[in-house]
Amino acid sequence: MKRTLALLLSLLIIIIVIVIPRPIHSAENAVKDFTLPSATDGSLIRLADHAGKVVLINWWRTSCGYSKQESPKLVELYNKYRDKGLVILGVFDKLSEDDYETVAEIPAYLKRYGITWPIGLNDQGEFMREIFPNGRGETPGNYLVSRSGKLTYLGLDRKSEDWQKLEEAVVRLLAEPKPGAPSIPQRLLEPAPAFSLPNLHGKTVSVADFSGKPLLVNFFTAGTCDWAGPVISRLYRDYAGRGLQVVGIDLFDQDAQIKNCIGKHGVKYPVLRGDEATQKAWIGSNKAWATFFVTPDGKMFKKIVDSIDNGLEAQVFPWYAEYLVARR
Residue 171 scores a pLDDT above 50: yes
Beta carbons within 8 Å of 275's beta carbon, 6+ residues apart: 197
Q: Higher model confidence: residue 327 or residue 190?
A: 190
Q: How far apart are CA 258 and CA 270, in angstroms?
A: 12
The pLDDT, as a whole number, for residue 77 is: 97
Structure confidence by residue, pLDDT tens digits, 199-208: 999 999 999 9
Q: How far apart are CA 96 and CA 312, in angstroms?
A: 9
Short-list 115, 136, 52, 60, CA closest to 92:
60
Q: How far apart are CA 168 and CA 51, in angstroms?
A: 21
- What letter represents residue 285's amino acid? S
The pLDDT, as a whole number, for residue 99 is: 64
| Segment (H or E) for 196 | strand 196-198
Q: Across residues 299-310, what is the average pLDDT?
A: 87
Q: What is the DSSP letter of 298?
A: S
Q: Please, what is the average pLDDT of the chain?
A: 88
The pLDDT, as a whole number, for residue 307 is: 75
Q: Across residues 134-150, what is the average pLDDT?
A: 90
Q: How far apart are CA 325 and CA 328, in angstroms?
A: 5
Q: How far apart are CA 123 and CA 304, in angstroms?
A: 7
Residue 152 scores a pLDDT above 80: yes
The pLDDT, as a whole number, for residue 137 is: 74
Instruction: Write the CA distances from 136 to 156, 169, 195, 310, 328, integer angstroms.
Output: 8, 19, 36, 21, 39
The pLDDT, as a whole number, for residue 27 is: 52
Q: Across residues 285-311, what is the average pLDDT?
A: 91
Q: What is the DSSP letter of 121?
A: E
Range with top average pLDDT, 17-26, 110-119, 301-310: 110-119
* CA–centroid distance for 130 within its chain: 8
Sign of CA dihedral 63, 65, 70, 75: positive
Domains of the chain: 23-174 (3.40.30.10), 196-326 (3.40.30.10)
The pLDDT, as a whole number, for residue 168 is: 94
Residue 21 scores a pLDDT above 80: no
How many C-beta neighbours within 10 Å does residue 116 have?
13
Structure confidence by residue, pLDDT tens digits, 57-89: 999 999 889 999 999 999 999 999 999 999 999
Structure confidence by residue, pLDDT tens digits, 226-271: 988 999 999 999 999 999 999 999 999 999 999 999 999 999 999 9
140: cis peptide before it, omega within 30°? yes
